[in-house]
Amino acid sequence: MLQITGLSHSYGDGHRAIDGLDLTVPDGQLLSIVGPSGCGKSTLLRCIGGLIRPTAGTLTLDGRPIDGVPDDLAVVFQDYSRSLFPWLTVRDNVALPLRRRGKGRSERRAAAQESLESVGLADAGRKYPWQLSGGMQQRVSIARALAYRPSLLLMDEPFGSVDAQTREDLEDLVLQMHRTRKMTILLVTHDIDESVYVGDRVVVLNRSPARVHADLPVDLPSARDQIETRGTPEFVRLRAEVGRLVRGGAKVPGAAPAGTG
Ligand SMILES: Nc1ncnc2c1ncn2[C@@H]1O[C@H](COP(=O)(O)OP(=O)(O)OP(=O)(O)O)[C@@H](O)[C@H]1O
């Protein structure tokens, strides 16, 4: 379980990005995080990922304080072109972090190949990232994260740089991975429809400095379909509610109060 209590972070220039944020994420949940632009979503992920040390508050993962990059963590960023090494083959990119796991060369290669197969890139291992489309490169980033077998996966606007069709394919890939691997996923997105479509739960942050403004369970069946799910009354209701909340509008009756769940 990820537990965040009283989290605050101010940058060196004095800018307060997060102020007293509380959030608990049970194991295996796929949590979507949305909020107005610049409200502090990435800062929150950086604190959870141990990449920056918060100014105040506590973060624990399975009861252990986060005071560096947790062992079982993987991160997928929006900018795949900067997160993949162009001089390494796709397979070597995926295999690289497994060194940290202390695996031998052949074991790393086998795990990388298996992970590439699971994202539909079985034949791309010998290519270089720049020989692939943007969507395929982001699949490589996801394969790299999955090969590491994280218990916690942080995704920061992971589909923001691909076309709409590819975005839907990648959303479904993440849903499928989440179902089969049962890891906890925190997904930051600007896309309100996406937050509802992929999430078990949507947390809306308020304007900077960030705090939890609303916390909404997504009461949709776990098997989702891009056409059917998006046409259900529950999806339409939630999308409208999250949209209102992100724009700073009033909360509709029946929504869970902020900080629950
Ligand atoms: N390294 C930094 N130094 C100073 N201020 C920063 C730094 N990084 C972010 N900020 C500021 O902190 C606030 C929160 O930034 P952050 O990137 O966390 O927001 P965000 O919600 O992820 O933004 P976006 O929606 O645009 O992706 C912003 O006002 C931003 O300008």
What fold, for 2-72+152-246?
Answer: Rossmann fold (3.40.50)
Strand, coil or helix: what is 6?
Answer: strand
User: How much of the chain exceeds pLDDT 70, in percent?
Assistant: 95
| pLDDT recorded at residue 70 | 87
Model confidence pLDDT, tens digit, residues 118-170: 888 999 999 999 999 998 998 999 999 998 889 999 999 988 888 888 889 88
Ligand 1 proximity of 178 Cβ (cutoff 6 Å) = no
pTM: predicted TM-score of the whole model, two decimal places: 0.91
Q: Ligand 1, from 8, 10, 13, 39: best to mutate by most atoms within 8 Å of Cβ? A: 39
> ipTM score of the complex?
0.96
Model confidence pLDDT, tens digit, residues 203-218: 999 988 999 999 999 9
| Closest by Cα among 174, 176, 139, 135 to 32 | 174
Q: Which residue has the tokens 């395929």?
A: 136
Q: Whose CA is nearest to atom 12 of ligand 1?
A: 17
Q: Whose CA is nearest to atom 3 of ligand 1?
A: 11
Model confidence pLDDT, tens digit, residues 158-172: 888 888 888 898 899
Ligand 1 proximity of 41 Cβ (cutoff 6 Å) = yes
C-alpha 180/C-alpha 149 separation (Å) is 12
C-alpha 186/C-alpha 91 separation (Å) is 25
Q: Whose CA is nearest to atom 28 of ligand 1?
A: 38
C-alpha 99/C-alpha 43 separation (Å) is 27
Residue 243, class by beta-carbon neighbours within 10 Å (0-12 exposed, 13-18 middle, 19+ buried)? middle
Task: Parse the chain into domains and list their residue ranges.
Answer: 2-72+152-246, 84-149
Pairing of strands 2-10, 16-25: antiparallel
